[in-house]
Amino acid sequence: MVADVTPIIRELLPLLRLFCRGEYGVALGGAHAKGIDDRESDVDLYVFAREVLSAEERTRLCQRYADGVESVVSWGESDGFIQGGTDFSFRQQRIECWLRNTDYVSGIIAACREGVVKHDLVTWTVMGFYSYCTLSDLHKMIPVEDPQGFLSRWKSEVSVYPPRLGEAIIAEHLHAAQFWPDNPHYQGAIERCDIIYTAGIVQQVAHNLIQVVFALNREYFPGEKRLDVTMGHLPLKPDRFTERIIHLISPGVRADRAFLRGQGGELGKLVGEVEALVADREAHHR
């Protein structure tokens, strides 16, 4: 951890409590909870409640709270509340406060343990938000205040990776990755040097393979940020997996037809190696 954020959290706790109506819990999440923070990392604070104040009310509270609170942006309403956020700067430190409905979180945990997952296309994450990222957040988060004890209960429930969740992720993302390497639309784009189109395919397949590798290792997918770090400790993956993914996405050379052909070949090879790992795991579980 680059810096101890405990003093900032203590100062902000009275404000975060005011966001909620009734029962609540507060936890530290994000890079600081995962131990991968750097000087560019926000302080990610999770606030869990059944009811919260409206976005406008939360913004007004922040603006009145202290001189050091600036650039407040709130979203999500109290009516039909599922999730929302209030982000601001506090003494030159960026704070991201994510509010989540406690019943919604409990439902996501139950669904993921049964292998039922949801994927929402949203603007604030490149590949969309997967419901099981909630379990990853809970697994790594550090409770700050938990007066009703539901944070500790959730952490207990997600402490063991659900087998059905892994099966669902592997089935969906391996199928998606397999779709592209020999696809005639991809091959045609290579031959006409359609760089924008082929780049999107490579990015998508790389993402699918990463999802499969995390599931094979029974590790929660942590989200898209800092994957070069979080993939490093996974024992079960193709040789030089992280380095090969980075090279596929950012090769640093001119993308002519010969390069795109080679890139497509490497992409297909990596898909095949992940397929082999999945087949080997299934053989050992029969």
Q: Considering 141, 157, 173, which residue would you say is the last residue of a domain?
A: 157
Give a yes or no: residue 171 inside a domain.
Answer: yes
- Predicted confidence at residue 284, as pLDDT, reads 78
Residues 29 and 153 in one domain: yes
Residue 197 belongs to some domain of the structure: yes
* CA gap 248, 15 in Å, rounded: 45
Predicted pLDDT at 261 = 96
pLDDT of residue 31: 87
Q: Which residues of 195-205 are buried (b: 16+ CB within 10 A; e: fewer)?
A: eeebbebbeeb
Q: What is the pLDDT of residue 283?
A: 82
- pLDDT value, residue 255: 87
Final residue of a structural domain among 134, 157, 180? 157
Q: Can you list the residues of the chain whose pLDDT is less than 50? A: 1-2
In a domain, 1, yes or no: no
Give the model's pLDDT for residue 91. Answer: 85
93-101 vs 43-52, strand pairing mode: parallel
Q: Given this model, what pLDDT does residue 29 score?
A: 93
How buried is residue 83: exposed, middle or buried, by Cβ count under 10 Å (0-12/13-18/19+)? middle
Q: What is the pLDDT of residue 1?
A: 47
The predicted pLDDT at position 113 comes to 97
Domains held by the chain: number: 2
Q: Is the same domain home to 107 and 130? A: yes
CA-CA distance, 72 to 136, in Å (whole number)? 27
194 with 114, same domain?
A: no
Q: Give residue 202's domain range.
A: 163-284
Per-residue pLDDT tens digits for 146-191 = 999 999 999 999 999 999 999 999 999 999 999 999 999 999 999 9
Structural domain contains residue 89 = yes
Query: Is residue 143 located within the same domain as residue 178?
Result: no
In this structure, what CATH number is given to the domain that contains residue 110? 3.30.460.10
Question: Is residue 146 located within the same domain as residue 177?
Answer: no
**Do 141 and 11 fall into the same domain?**
yes
**What is the pLDDT at residue 107?**
97
- Report pLDDT for 3: 64
